[in-house]
Amino acid sequence: MSNQTNNNQTLNANKQSATIGKTLSACLSHLQFGSLIELFNGISEGIFIIDEQGTFEFANPMAAQFLGDSQQSLIGQSLLQFLHETDRDKYMYTLLNWLDIKDTRLNFGPNEVKINKTDGNIIEADLSISNMPSSIASAQKLYVCILHDLSIHKAIYNKLKVQASIDHLTGLANRFTLDESLKQYWQESIQSHQPLTSILIDVDHFKRFNDTYGHIKGDKCLQKIAKIILQCIPSRDCLAARYGGEEFAVILPRCNRDSAAVVARHIQQQINAMTFTDIGLPPEVKVSVSQGIACELDNQYRTCEALICAADTALYRAKSDGRNKISISS
């Protein structure tokens, strides 16, 4: 029985010999070879072995899939040709340095790298490199590398990042994104001596709308208003956000108060013309908004919070003046 097992392992090793380099093959007995390849091939991470020049001696099926080539074709190729140019020098330097260090284990990574696949696509991955134990590779230095594909993790992270930055009802930026973006806009304004203008927008008598037509229709109303605001901002450098409840905010970099007033009037006109027949309400149902504008120039307000406060004061004045008004902070 033992002889039969050994024979099977030898046959398996012979079948797999085309997927292994000469240096690695010389280091292993048939039994070691078969067991090691079986182990690596069954792991769901990309695992490959390189020599001290960075040449592939072995790649498991997952590594071949990540790199976009066959296991057999990878043998003899250089790892460096698969590394993006931004990572290539770092790994070349690491390998060359470790050639001259005796009796010291290399453990490098995991580090995030970009991989050039053979089809021209680029994937992001974590790459770890460590010495193969001297009990296996005593004659020459060999390195075991583990490649962990980050594409799915990155996609999930980016999706969560987007979800965390937007208001789920309106699709506009949420309050957190507004606050963080405003800090950046503020610094750019101060450094460039360019104006920065904020518009705060409040839906008039929105509680009455909700009480009369219900919260579902109220949500639809907010979505329609958000869409109009987004269409009215002059460039993608600007930011439209839900400030809270039925309040919205627009940040206009490099825009003075007169230009902001034009944007505000456009928003006002479009909302005044808006109907709700598409959500089942009579054509006579209308809404309006009140708006407050404040403009920062030459460090007038000293902080971005003070700028928003000034716009809020102007908004309060617009509502006090009878609503459906635009008030500009002096």
- How much is the average pLDDT of 85-112? 71
Reported CATH class of domain 2-154: alpha beta
Taking only the tens place, the pLDDT of each residue in 174-194 is 999 999 999 999 999 999 999
Query: Model pTM?
Result: 0.63
Q: How far apart are CA 284 and CA 185, in angstroms?
A: 40
Lowest mean pLDDT among 38-47, 164-173, 241-250, 271-280: 38-47
Under CATH, what is the fold of the domain 166-328? Alpha-Beta Plaits (3.30.70)
Catalytically annotated residues: 246
Residue range(s) of every CATH 3.30.450.20 domain in the chain: 2-154
Q: How far apart are CA 191 and CA 185, in angstroms?
A: 10
Taking only the tens place, the pLDDT of each residue in 17-42 is 555 666 666 555 555 666 777 888 88
Residue range(s) of every CATH 3.30.70.270 domain in the chain: 166-328
Question: How many C-beta atoms lie closer than 10 Å to residue 78's C-beta?
Answer: 14
Q: What is the pLDDT of residue 19?
A: 59
- With a cut of 80, say whether residue 158 has pLDDT above it: yes
Q: What is the pLDDT of residue 255?
A: 95
